[in-house]
Amino acid sequence: MCIRDSPKNIPPGWTYSPSTDAQRLPIVAMGLIGLLTSRILTAYQLGHIDGVWEPFFAGSLSDPRNGTEEIITSDMSKAWPIPDGGLGTVSYVLEILMAVMGTRDRWRTMPWMVTFFGILVIPLGVISIYFIISQPIVIGTWSTLALIAALAMLIMIPFALDEVIAMGQFLLWARRQGKPLIRTFFQGDAIEAGAVDASDAMASPSTFWADAKKGLTLPWTLTASIVIGVLLMLTRILFGTEGGMANSDHVVGALVITVAIIATAEVARALRLINVAFGAWLVAAPFLLDGVGHLGAVASVVAGIALVGLSFPRGKRSAEHYASWDKYVI
């Protein structure tokens, strides 16, 4: 059967198509946010504008520039052959273009596109978190625009994961059927199993949102974990921590938020268990690091115990199914 003649757009064993317009539009929206912010940063780095908006973070006392200007002119930003803001701009443009390419069956008709799209979104999201972690530790300040861009990149990840999983299952099926793997990867193939979804998810806001959030759930346990992560990143302000303890809280807080947001994708729900290790570290950290007062130590232990307790329950999942991946939604 010709690929174009096959109407199947729901993967076998799945209850929805992970490649619909509604599934991909949130990624486009986040990409536009990242594109606009990185464009501003690039313009300053290239000398096209004289200043950058920064409502919250001042630079160091010895530097008249604000936090954003100081960060994007630091040695870390200059480590790339081109301005890192420009690199981010190019990345967001590619993500947007890849997100809008293809139809709702592209998980089987364009495996190469889904693969490179996943590579572009997921690793770059992790790199963005690295920059968020490193800003106050290495440079001593934050950037509001960089925080916005990194958050937009991070939100893309759970929206992209289910499509990558479906594409991987399709390639595994093709290999088991004895089909040429490389040809299938670049040209796609038809599939006999699966189902057809001809509904118009863009017909109304309610139908759009119902389709866009398929495969995503936000249990209260993950919400609470995100709140703990945010509070950990603010312990310098809230509890006066400093030195190694402040850096530890910042790193762990950013990682806890990252894990919790990615785990909102049910296909990645098991990743929340990583936060158990972070919770255990929070309990031990006050006894191993300097720069923590009595109140900060108590807060760290309480946060650690709470995080461990919040990370074990899976939380309520949706009625969606992901074929052989169902057994990993634990």
pLDDT score of 245 more than 90: yes
Higher pLDDT, 78 or 184: 184
Same domain, 150 and 260: no
Q: Are the beta carbons of 39 and 115 closer than 8 angstroms?
A: no
* pLDDT over threshold 80, residue 128: no
Residue 2 falls inside a structural domain = no
Least confident of 77-91, 127-141, 160-174, 200-214: 127-141
Question: How many CA atoms lie within 13 Å of 307's alpha carbon, on the beta-carbon side?
Answer: 33
Residue 12 shares a structural domain with residue 106: yes
62 and 130 co-located in one domain: yes
Residue 224 has pLDDT above 70, yes or no: yes
Residue 315 maps to a domain: yes
If asked whether residues 235 and 315 sit together in one domain, one would say yes
First to last CA, the chain: 37
B/e letters for 250-278, b = 16+ CB within 10 Å, e = fewer, are bbbbbbbbbbbbbbbbbbbbebbebbbeb
Q: Does 12 have pLDDT greater than 60? A: yes
DSSP string spanning 109-157?
Answer: H-HHHHHHHHHHHHHHHHHHHHHHHHIIIIIS---HHHHHHHHHHHHHH
- Residue with more model confidence, 162 or 139: 162
* Residues 126 and 251 sit within 8 Å (Cβ to Cβ): no
On whether residue 148 sits in a domain, the answer given is yes
Q: What is the pLDDT of residue 61?
A: 56
Query: Do residues 133 and 165 both lie within one domain?
Result: yes
- Looking at per-residue pLDDT, the higher value among 13 and 83 belongs to 13
Looking at residue 96, which CATH number applies to its domain?
A: 1.20.1440.130
Point out the domain boundary residue: 157, 186, 214: 214
pLDDT tens across 249-273, in order? 989 999 999 999 999 999 999 999 9
Q: Which of 214, 234, 254 is the last residue of a domain?
A: 214
If asked whether residues 223 and 206 sit together in one domain, one would say: no
Q: Which pLDDT score, from 0 to 100, does residue 74 have?
A: 80
DSSP-derived secondary structure letter, 325: G
Q: What is the pLDDT of residues 187-197, one digit of tens each?
A: 999 888 888 88
- When divided into structural domains, the chain yields a total of 2
pLDDT at 29: 95
Quote the percentage of the chain above a pLDDT of 90.
58
Q: Could you tell me if 322 and 192 lie in one domain?
A: no
Choose one of 171, 192, 214: the last residue of a domain.
Answer: 214
For residue 321, how far is the Cα from the chain centroid?
22
Residue 1 clears pLDDT 60, i.e. is over it: no
Q: Which residue has the higher pLDDT, 132 or 105?
A: 105
287 lies in a domain? yes
Range of the domain at 311: 216-330
Q: Which residues of 126-160 are buried (b: 16+ CB within 10 A; e: fewer)?
A: eebbebbbbbbeebbbbbbbbbebbbbbbbbbbbb
For residues 200 and 228, membership in a common domain is answered with: no
Considering the domain architecture, whether residues 322 and 285 belong to the same structural domain is answered as yes
CA pair distance 46, 245, nearest whole angstrom: 37
Residues 192 and 286 in one domain: no
Report pLDDT digits (tens) over 27-86: 999 999 999 998 998 898 888 998 888 888 776 656 677 888 888 888 777 777 777 788
- Whether residue 3 lies inside any domain: the answer is no
| pTM confidence score | 0.91
User: Is 265 a member of any domain?
Assistant: yes
Residue 116, pLDDT > 80, answer yes
Is residue 1 in some structural domain?
no
Average pLDDT along the chain? 89
**Alpha-carbon distance 216 to 262, whole Å?**
10
Same domain, 273 and 296: yes
- 291 pLDDT band, cuts 50/70/90, is confident
Residues 59 and 191 in one domain: yes
Yes or no: say if 9 and 103 are a contact pair by the CB < 8 Å rule: yes
What is the predicted pLDDT for the residue at 137?
Answer: 79
